[in-house]
Chain A
């Protein structure tokens, strides 16, 4: 513990190694990849990583407006399923639907199958999955960095935190393989990410986002009918995407004759 405290203290106040006690050397360079006033359109493939029984595969569209180098506003649409379409209604149960071609991003894991084999089942809340999410996030990018790959290639990246919320629709599958729409409600999220610049207009993004929502599902059937059960669920997504940046400051192109 002592060593951790010491290490933290040292990190907080790193020694600036200068040439002599009477001078300091600094590198002050124009950012090669400025994002100020740029609009960024990103497409991601996202995958949930911490759910036990559910597995989301999602497409994500994000549109960011970078207020400056550090702050951006982002509109996000995350979709695991074709929006506004539920499939065919089940005749004897108006809240249940069938159909799967529009539900490619929803699947259950081996653990769920394993439970079913053992004639066990998790609660419906643990089976609820995000179908579509539309939201707004604020992104703050306080860290910039660069890396050398085996001391050969150079990579520049910005690291950011993001927080926001919006409207989500969720669904879950009953044991009889019909799907139940749980309606739409608020979902919050926060996350971390990095943006690796390959060109001034092109970057690769890697996001980890935790989506938290209150899964409202059918509870156990009681004497007065089926109850509604609510459980707070959080789902961590890893999202890898590409982004295209438009507008902003036009860089001075250095070309002959210099």
Chain B
């Protein structure tokens, strides 16, 4: 659902912002004030995950971009999530269960949390424009999309028991580390780049990082006891990033 939703939103954006009119023989903007072509940009972005199911992330990322033209660039992106934990919702759900006795690895998708990542991506910037806030403050912008691959480390917490027998109140999902693997990832996203001057920019971006997960969780079927259960899924983490960039 999550991946479908994000893709839908991006598709909607792309369709919506398609050109309505144009003169094929003339450039729409001559002497473009902010042209990314041939420039580097370093970006520092605080980020937080949005639309997570059971996890939450707050972190920071640093990226170096090089734009071959105004429309196309390459990006190297590293990030670290200094908050990477589970949501309260998970505990609320666990309380409803009567069948978790001795289960340590929950058989749910999207449970893995990201600690750090490194990505290489392509940046495509089809739209250049400007916005005017109350006819007072005009700001030039680029709209861009990113697409690429990389690696990330994920943690997966085990279920810990505060008492012997299962009751509704003695189980917590407190995040004991069960797994800390490095996974190959893919990412896609898009955002707006607000030009402040020829060097400084602000960025607002939505980026989804995902990997294909295939691991053994556990279930307690109440007859044979705890057994392994294969979980396969695309594990998505979608970040909202607000960055400051310096271009040179």
Tell me what chain B mostly uses at the interface: helix, strand, loop, or mixed.
mixed
A residues in contact with B107, CB < 8 Å: 114, 117-118
- Report the bound CA distance from A4 to B107 in whole Å: 42
Q: For window 164-206 of chain B, which residues contact chain A by CB distance below 8 Å?
A: 194, 196-197, 200-202
Sorting the interface of chain B by its residue count into under 10, 10 to 19, 20 to 34 or 35 or more gives 35 or more
- Would you call A14 and B139 a contact (CB within 8 A)? yes
Is A83 on the interface with B (CB-CB < 8 A)? Answer: no
CB distance from B87 to the nearest CB of A (A): 9
B residues in contact with A120, CB < 8 Å: 93-94, 96-97, 100, 108
Is A153 on the interface with B (CB-CB < 8 A)? Answer: yes
- Would you call B20 and A154 a contact (CB within 8 A)? yes
CB distance from B49 to the nearest CB of A (A): 12
A residues in contact with B96, CB < 8 Å: 120-123
A residues in contact with B109, CB < 8 Å: 110-111, 114
Is A15 on the interface with B (CB-CB < 8 A)? Answer: yes
> A10 contacts which of B54, B93, B197 (Cβ < 8 Å)?
B197
A residues in contact with B244, CB < 8 Å: 3-4, 7
> B29 contacts which of A148, A156, A157, A197 (Cβ < 8 Å)?
A148
Is B147 on the interface with A (CB-CB < 8 A)? Answer: no
- Would you call B20 and A152 a contact (CB within 8 A)? no
**Total interface residues on A, using CB and 8 Å?**
54
Is B40 on the interface with A (CB-CB < 8 A)? Answer: no
- Would you call B12 and A55 a contact (CB within 8 A)? no
CB-CB nearest in chain B for A194: B16
Is A155 on the interface with B (CB-CB < 8 A)? Answer: yes
CB distance from A64 to the nearest CB of B (A): 18
- Report the bound CA distance from A114 to B1 in whole Å: 12
- Would you call A145 and B129 a contact (CB within 8 A)? yes
Residues of B participating in the A interface, judged by any CB pair closer than 8 Å: 1, 5-6, 8-9, 12-13, 15-22, 24, 27-29, 32-33, 44, 50-51, 53-54, 70-71, 89, 92-94, 96-100, 106-110, 126-134, 137-139, 141, 143, 194, 196-197, 200-202, 219, 244, 246
Residues of A participating in the B interface, judged by any CB pair closer than 8 Å: 3-4, 6-8, 10-12, 14-15, 17, 47, 49-50, 52, 55, 109-111, 114-115, 117-123, 126, 142-157, 159, 194, 196-198, 204, 206, 238, 240
